[in-house]
């Protein structure tokens, strides 16, 4: 309600503000003093109103809280209802499941009962079968006994038949005897017959013709009688044979009949025997079956002992089976109930989890809503504050209107009140904007800066010119610096590039590796080793030299001693040594040869020229004649200027001997200027002195 009033007041204030917007500042300056008392009153009134407003706000908040609680209650009610419905559905489902289970169990019970009946039937059938087997056994036994009896009778029959056979045989024998007796009688009779025949024959022979005829007739008759006789003779035999044959026939027929009978009997006996054997086998089988059945029976009977239950009859067994099945059923029931309860529990758990999630989400939503509502509440509170302030201002205006009914101009007072209201409004609005600007401080500053710049640029041209100049100078300086730095950068880059080309690197990031046994180090090492080896060789050679200079025998020892230091005697050294030895030999030989030749030449010269020429010192020659009187008599010649053969002159030097030869010297050397003449003159002189003296 208040809010709507505040909104209307707000709109009127805005219209007033727009009407009196321009001369705001001037009016503020004009009337500070009379406003103060009003301001205090207004402030007091404002405070009272603020308190009332606070109370109202409180009541509003309480209302809002109540609303929220109500909504929460509704929500909880709804939740409870939903839960109850769910529980109801679950219980209905459970009930249905229980019913189904019940039916299943009933069906199972029926099936089990049927099975029971079947099993009992089978049991009874088996019992009957057992009995039938017993009966068959008994019948078989009886048959066996019968057959035994038959066997006995047949045996007896056979015995009887055998006796009969014996009797028959005896009869046959008796008949044979009779036959033999009769044959004997036949023979006797035959003899008797023959005698009369003979008498007949003698009587008949009286008339010759008739006699002959009668003879012939008699002969014929004789022949005929003979024939007859033979025939008659044959007759008893024939009779015998007949009788024998007949007897044999009879006998054979009898025997044949007997034989037939016997055969039949034997066949019958054989069959009987076969049957008996079969019966025996069957009996054996039946006995086996009987044993098996008895074993089975025993096993069935022993069930009771083996299972530990009190079973003696199949009924007990069936009872036990029934009991076990019942137990099984019970256990299965229990199992099914457990599984079903477990499943239901799982389902309920899942449902509850789902509910939990939904409730959590709902609670989050509720929280968010609550927060939004709290923010709304805050905003509303702020609004309320603002509106109360506005309302205070309006009230102040209205009171001023009510209090001041004088004829003074309304317009300045109105305007003043309006200004006050506007001030309050602006203050609240500023407060509001500051509250909002708290978040966008940076942008406002920027905008303010921009506004300032714009205002400064438009409003104060003098200030901006100076600033612009300073900024331009700064910019130029910075530009110059930048160019300088760029050049520096380029230079440094070039240097870096150069260094990189030369092989420089950043020790922080890179390091230089090389193989330890690299050719340079190996070459250096080799060099060092060569140098050292050379130095050692040099030292050794120097020592050798020194030793060579000191003595000839020593170098051998030294060389022997220095074999460790000096180089080993190579082939070259040996060759050189050999060469050296040969050269020395050559030298020596040459020297000897030269010596001989020189000696020879000197003697030849001495002999031919008569002077022995000796070289005393450089370019001085002493000649001693063959015919010299004293050993010291010699002539000294000196050659001057280079070699003697190439134009150097010979000069005679003063000696004791040459003083004695002054005349010859003057003549030959000074006048004739011929040394050979002088020398020959001296020789002749001395020779003459020699020979004469």
Partner 1 sequence: MTSTLKGITLKGSAELVAEFFSFGINSILYQRGIYPPETFSRVTQYDMSLQLTTDTKLKSYLTNVVSQLKEWLFDCTVQKLVLVITCLETNEVLERWQFDIECDKSAKEISAPREKSIKSIQDEIRSVIRQITATVTFLPLLETSCAFDLLVYTDKDLEVPDKWEESGPQIIDQSEEVRLRSFTTSIHKVNSMVTYKRTDSA
Q: Which residues contact 669 (CB under 8 A, 6 or more apart)?
A: 652, 675, 678
**Least distance (Å) from partner 1 to the CB of residue 501?**
4
From residue 509 to residue 538, the character string flagging contacts with partner 1 as x (rule: CB under 8 A) and all else as - is: xxxxxxxxxxxxxxxx--x-----------
Distance CA 623, CA 118 (A): 182
Nearer to partner 1, 438 or 515 (CB): 515
Q: Which residues contact 559 (CB under 8 A, 6 or more apart)?
A: 544, 547, 566
**Least distance (Å) from partner 1 to the CB of residue 492?**
17
**Least distance (Å) from partner 1 to the CB of residue 519?**
5
From residue 455 to residue 494, the character string flagging contacts with partner 1 as x (rule: CB under 8 A) and all else as - is: ----------------------------------------
Distance CA 404, CA 416 (A): 13
Distance CA 317, CA 309 (A): 9
**Least distance (Å) from partner 1 to the CB of residue 498?**
7
Nearer to partner 1, 514 or 662 (CB): 514
- Cβ-based neighbour number of residue 520 at 10 Å: 8
- Read off the tokens for 37: 């008392």
- Count of residues in the chain: 693
Range in contact with partner 1 (rule: CB under 8 A) among 65-73, 348-356, 405-413, 495-503:
495-503
Nearer to partner 1, 209 or 515 (CB): 515
Nearer to partner 1, 507 or 568 (CB): 507
Nearer to partner 1, 156 or 500 (CB): 500
Among 33, 203, 405, 501, binds partner 1 (CB under 8 A): 501
Among 19, 401, 505, 601, binds partner 1 (CB under 8 A): 505
**Least distance (Å) from partner 1 to the CB of residue 495?**
12
β-pairing, 620-625 with 635-640?
Answer: antiparallel
Phi, psi of 682 (to 5 degrees): -65, -40
**Least distance (Å) from partner 1 to the CB of residue 567?**
24
Q: Which residues contact 253 (CB under 8 A, 6 or more apart)?
A: none
Phi, psi of 622 (to 5 degrees): -110, 125
- Work out whether 310 is an interface residue with partner 1 (CB under 8 A): no
C-beta of residue 90 within 8 angstroms of C-beta of residue 348: yes
C-beta of residue 286 within 8 angstroms of C-beta of residue 140: yes
Among 502, 564, 617, 692, binds partner 1 (CB under 8 A): 502
- Work out whether 504 is an interface residue with partner 1 (CB under 8 A): yes
* Closest of 10, 37, 32 to residue 416, by C-alpha: 32
Residue recorded with tokens 């602006």:
426
Instruction: Please state the three-class secondary structure of 625-687 as a single string.
Output: ECCCCCCCCCEEEEEECCCCCCCCEEEEECCHHHHHCHHHHHHHHHHHCCHHHHHHHHHHHHH
**Least distance (Å) from partner 1 to the CB of residue 521?**
7
Among 195, 508, 553, 693, binds partner 1 (CB under 8 A): 508
Applying CB under 8 A, the site for partner 1 has a residue count of 26
Distance CA 650, CA 669 (A): 10
**Least distance (Å) from partner 1 to the CB of residue 473?**
43
Nearer to partner 1, 518 or 582 (CB): 518
Nearer to partner 1, 437 or 531 (CB): 531
Sign of the alpha-carbon torsion through 13, 15, 17, 19: negative
Distance CA 157, CA 264 (A): 12
**Least distance (Å) from partner 1 to the CB of residue 533?**
16
From residue 370 to residue 389, the character string flagging contacts with partner 1 as x (rule: CB under 8 A) and all else as - is: --------------------
Nearer to partner 1, 138 or 504 (CB): 504
**Least distance (Å) from partner 1 to the CB of residue 543?**
28
Distance CA 13, CA 429 (A): 13
- Read off the tokens for 241: 């044979």
Question: Which residues in the 98-157 window bind partner 1 by CB under 8 A?
Answer: none
Q: Where along the sequence are the contacts to partner 1 (CB under 8 A)? A: 498, 500-505, 507-524, 527
């Amino acid at each position: 309600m208040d809010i709507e009033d505040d909104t209307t007041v707000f709109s009127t204030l805005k219209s007033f503000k727009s009407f009196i917007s321009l001369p705001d500042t001037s009016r503020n300056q004009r009337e500070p003093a009379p406003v103060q008392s009003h301001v205090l009153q207004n402030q007091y009134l404002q405070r009272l109103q603020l308190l009332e407003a606070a109370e109202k706000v409180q009541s509003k908040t309480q209302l809002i809280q109540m609303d929220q609680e109500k909504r929460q209650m509704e929500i909880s009610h709804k939740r409870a209802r939903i839960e109850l419905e769910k529980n109801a559905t679950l219980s209905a489902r459970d009930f249905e499941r229980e019913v189904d289970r019940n039916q299943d169990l009933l069906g199972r019970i029926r099936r089990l009962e049927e099975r029971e009946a079947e099993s009992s039937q089978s049991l009874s059938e088996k019992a009957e079968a057992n009995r039938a087997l017993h009966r068959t056994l008994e019948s078989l036994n009886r048959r066996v006994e019968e057959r035994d009896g038959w066997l006995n009778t047949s045996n007896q029959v056979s015995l009887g038949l055998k006796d009969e056979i014996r009797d028959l045989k005896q009869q046959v024998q008796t008949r044979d005897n009779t036959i033999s007796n009769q044959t004997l009688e036949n023979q006797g009779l035959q003899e008797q017959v023959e005698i009369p025949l003979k008498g007949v024959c003698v009587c008949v022979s009286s008339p010759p013709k008739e006699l002959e005829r009668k003879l012939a007739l008699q002969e014929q008759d004789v022949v005929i009688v003979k024939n007859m006789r033979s025939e008659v003779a044959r007759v008893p035999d024939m009779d015998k044979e007949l009788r024998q044959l007949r007897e044999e026939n009879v006998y054979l027929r009898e025997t044949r009949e007997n034989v037939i009978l016997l055969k039949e009997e034997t066949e019958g006996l054989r069959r009987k025997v076969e049957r008996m054997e079969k019966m025996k086998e069957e009996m054996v089988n039946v006995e086996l079956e009987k044993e098996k059945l008895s074993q089975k029976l025993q096993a069935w009977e022993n069930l009771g002992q083996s299972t530990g239950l009190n079973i003696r009859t199949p009924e007990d067994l069936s009872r036990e089976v029934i009991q076990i099945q019942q137990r099984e059923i019970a256990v299965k029931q229990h199992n099914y109930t457990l599984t079903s309860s477990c499943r239901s529990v799982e389902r309920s758990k899942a449902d509850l989890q789902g509910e939990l999630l939904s409730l959590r989400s709902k609670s989050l939503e509720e929280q968010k809503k609550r927060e939004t509502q709290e923010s709304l509440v805050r905003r509303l509170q702020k609004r309320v504050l603002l509106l109360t302030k506005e309302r205070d201002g309006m009230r102040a205006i209205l009171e001023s209107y009510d209090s001041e009914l004088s004829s003074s101009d309304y317009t300045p007072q109105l305007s003043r009140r309006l200004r006050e209201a506007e001030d309050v409004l602006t203050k609240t609005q500023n407060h509001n904007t500051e509250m909002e600007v708290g978040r966008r401080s940076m942008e406002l500053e920027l905008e303010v800066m921009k506004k300032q710049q714009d205002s400064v640029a438009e409003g104060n041209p003098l200030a901006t010119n100076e600033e612009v100049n300073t900024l331009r100078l700064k910019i130029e300086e910075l530009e110059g610096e930048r160019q300088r730095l760029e050049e520096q950068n380029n230079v440094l880059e070039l240097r870096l590039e150069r260094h990189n080309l030369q092989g420089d690197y950043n020790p922080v990031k890179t390091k230089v590796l090389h193989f330890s046994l690299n050719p340079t180090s190996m070459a250096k090492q080799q060099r060092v080793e060569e140098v050292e080896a050379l130095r050692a060789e040099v030292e050794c050679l120097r020592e050798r030299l020194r030793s060579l200079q000191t003595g000839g025998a020593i170098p051998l020892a030294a060389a022997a001693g220095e074999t460790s230091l000096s180089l080993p005697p190579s082939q070259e050294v040996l060759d050189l040594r050999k060469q050296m030895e040969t050269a020395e030999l050559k030298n020596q030989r040459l020297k000897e040869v030269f010596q001989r030749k020189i000696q020879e030449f000197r003697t030849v010269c001495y002999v031919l020229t008569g002077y022995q020429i000796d070289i005393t010192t450089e370019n001085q020659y002493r000649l001693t004649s063959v015919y010299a009187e004293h050993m010291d008599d010699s002539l000294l010649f000196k050659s001057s200027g280079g070699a003697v053969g190439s134009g150097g002159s010979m000069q005679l030097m003063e000696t004791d001997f040459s003083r004695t030869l002054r005349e010859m010297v003057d003549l030959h050397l000074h006048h004739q200027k011929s040394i050979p003449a002088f020398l020959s003159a001296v020789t002749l002189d001395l020779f003459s002195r020699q020979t004469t003296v």
